[in-house]
Amino acid sequence: TQIVLSEAGTLTSLYQTQTSMGTKYGGTYGKYMTAFNSITNLLSHCLSAHSYGTDDPNNQLVSVRQTLKSQLAANPFWRYWQSEYCILGTAGPGRDLTMTTALNVSRVIWADLAVANASAWHWWLSLSQADYKDGLLYTDYWQPGDTETLYCSKNFWAFGQWSRFIRPGWKRVDMTSYANVFGLMSAAFAAPASNALAIVFINASATNQVIAPDATGLGAGRGIAY
């Protein structure tokens, strides 16, 4: 049995003291990456946190995760799990089955995996009854007698582009060419015991993109088969 002690509501809590929480509850909150140093022998290596509040591509999306990555490099005992996310705030209310939410969510997944080096990523609900951007699938069924409806969102398929092809145990490999949060983003993962390589691309722009990955460091005679 492994104990995962941290379940932080924000990514910044992993490396910053949360003074507002301390003032409200009269204790010390945050900076969990170093707060547990004296008991690391008792804990899982996972620090879990949520991506809420740091998902704006105009400012915090990349910068917060770059800081988190550097903090993890300085504290190599830990690995980061993104353990809960859906669309919150003013954008949360109202179902959106379109590509708008799908691309916004996929961009957050990309930032957590490709920038912050998250080793796990969790979405909030697989099936939702709410008029909210919190599900992959939706239903209007609440009680016996209601019509048994099921609606599939584009977010379901966008999430599947990560979860279906990138499997547990795969290792991320660097892709430095595609990191435009308003254009083309990419992340690549290699299987641990085979020649399989999965690359996920996200095009957040309104124009078509031509993609031709150039793989280096694979060894003599090896390359990507399209």
Cα(90)–Cα(100) distance, rounded to whole angstroms? 15
- Distance, C-alpha 65 to centroid of its chain: 11
pLDDT value at 213 more than 90: no
The residues near 49 (Cβ < 8 Å, ≥ 6 apart) are 6, 7, 8, 9, 10, 11, 13, 14, 80, 81, 82, 83
pLDDT at 218: 65
- The proportion of the chain whose per-residue pLDDT surpasses 70, expressed as a percent, equals 95
Structure tokens at 179: 């990191």
pLDDT value at 176 more than 80: no
Tell me 114's DSSP state.
I
Tell me 203's DSSP state.
E
> pLDDT tens for residues 148-173?
999 999 999 999 999 999 999 999 98
| Phi and psi at residue 189, to the nearest 5° | -140, 135
- The arithmetic mean of pLDDT across residues 20-44, rounded, is 91
The CB-side HSE value for 113 (13 A sphere, CA atoms) comes to 27
CB 92 within 8 A of CB 98: no
Tell me 132's DSSP state.
B
Angle of the 154-163 helix axis to the 99-110 helix axis, nearest 10: 30
Closest CA to 172 of 222, 108, 118: 118
Cα(53)–Cα(212) distance, rounded to whole angstroms? 34
CB 17 within 8 A of CB 30: yes
Cα(156)–Cα(96) distance, rounded to whole angstroms? 11
Tell me 56's DSSP state.
-
Cα(97)–Cα(103) distance, rounded to whole angstroms? 11
The residues near 2 (Cβ < 8 Å, ≥ 6 apart) are 43, 44, 46
- The arithmetic mean of pLDDT across residues 120-127, rounded, is 96
> pLDDT tens for residues 79-114?
999 999 999 999 999 999 999 999 999 999 999 999
